[in-house]
Amino acid sequence: MEEKQDIINNYDKYAKKRQDALLKNLKPSHRFVERPMMRNMLPNLEGKKILLIGCGTGEETMLLNSFGAYSKNIVGIDISRESIKLAKNTYPSVEFKVMDMNNLEFEDESFDFVYSSLAVHYTANPEKVYKEVYRVLKKDGLFLFSLAHPLRWASQKVFIDGEECRVIGCSRNNDKCRVIGKYHSFDKQTHSFFAWQNDGEILSFYVGAPSMHFKLLRKVGFNVLDFTESKCIDEAKDIDLNYYIKNSEIPQFMAFLTRK
């Protein structure tokens, strides 16, 4: 309960700042990594009834529109009241509701397509969310969603030659093996964003291995059609070369496309 309130407080507090950054295309992780990954996996959405999970301030409706989705057929939900308020004001032809993804308040088989960007990793119980999504999807409906990748977000800070690095690995000392970072543990990870600014955000989310999510999705009945590990696009090279080098080698995010 406390954890849920922390998420709400955080996303309420930064809703306006996040929306401004998204609308000005200032978030490199969205512009160069996550959105391009999702764009490559999105199907044609003409005439489809669509649910957005953890839609934030609603900017992803523009992405879905560009794949044929009609705004009047989209319903976006988010747990942050402030984000939903901004979404309603900015995209008045889309329906937005304050709702928890762990309990979707929709009838069975209501949607053809469920979309979620970087939100499902906020639940401690992804199986429950997958079951809920399965329930509200029509037969043959599709679910496309992205998550934090453990290689990036379950790594641990270490110093190598005096330089701060993020690592997943282990020492080779068999007597006293040291494991750095977590790949297979499904665990809550806390990260600070824009820490150099006065008003940096601290966010905690759950990170697990792709194989764990793959198995849970199959367990609740989904067919997994596609899986992608993100790779920074070339456009980033001219804008931030270091960002490009890092994120074209290490996946920041991963995405699953599944069918009911």
Ligand X SMILES: C[S@@+](CC[C@H](N)C(=O)[O-])C[C@H]1O[C@@H](n2cnc3c(N)ncnc32)[C@H](O)[C@@H]1O
187-193/201-207 β-pairing: antiparallel
Is 153 one of the binding residues for ligand X (CB under 6 A)? no
Of 21, 67, 59, residue with least CA distance to 40 = 67
Q: Which of 14, 45, 48, 59 binds ligand X (CB under 6 A)?
A: 59
7 is a site residue for ligand X (CB under 6 A): yes
Q: What is the smallest separation between the CB atom of 3 and ligand X, expressed in angstroms?
A: 9
Query: Rounded to the nearest whole angstrom, what is the least distance from the CB of residue 163 to ligand X in the complex?
Result: 29
Could you tell me the smallest distance in angstroms from the CB atom of residue 29 to ligand X?
9
Burial bucket for residue 79 (CB in 10 Å: 0-12, 13-18, 19+): buried
Instruction: Establish if 132 lies at the interface with ligand X (CB under 6 A).
Output: no
Residue from 78, 82, 112, 132 binding ligand X (CB under 6 A): 78
Q: Residue count at the site for ligand X (CB under 6 A)?
A: 21
Q: Between helices 126-136 and 210-220, what is the axis angle to 10°?
A: 40
Q: Does 54 bind ligand X (CB under 6 A)?
A: yes
Q: CB of residue 231 vs ligand X: minimum separation in angstroms?
A: 18
CA distance to 39, 183, 185, 256, per residue, from 211 (Å): 23, 11, 11, 11
Residue 252 as a binder of ligand X (CB under 6 A): the answer is: no
- Cβ proximity to ligand X: between 90 and 180 the closer is 90
Strand 253-259 to strand 223-229: parallel, antiparallel, or no bridges (unpaired)? Answer: antiparallel
Taking CB under 6 A as the rule, does residue 11 contact ligand X? yes
Q: What are phi and psi of 212, to 5 degrees?
A: -65, -45
The residue type found at 201 is E
Q: Distance from first CA to last CA of the chain, Å, rounded? A: 31
Does 232 help bind ligand X (rule: CB under 6 A)? no
Q: Does 69 bind ligand X (CB under 6 A)?
A: no
* 55 in contact with ligand X (CB under 6 A): yes
Which helix (H) or strand (E) segment is 194 a member of? none
Quick one: which of 61, 83, 247, 258 contacts ligand X (CB under 6 A)? 83
Q: Which residue type occupies 29?
A: S
Residues in region 92-131 near ligand X by CB under 6 A: 100-102, 117-119, 122-123
Least CB distance to ligand X at residue 83 (A): 5
Provide the minimum distance between the beta carbon of 161 and ligand X in the complex, in angstroms, as a whole number.
Answer: 33
Q: How many angstroms separate the Cα of 113 from the Cα of each of 44, 74, 84, 259?
A: 10, 10, 20, 9
Positions that interact with ligand X (CB under 6 A):
7, 11, 22, 54-56, 59-60, 77-80, 83, 100-102, 117-119, 122-123
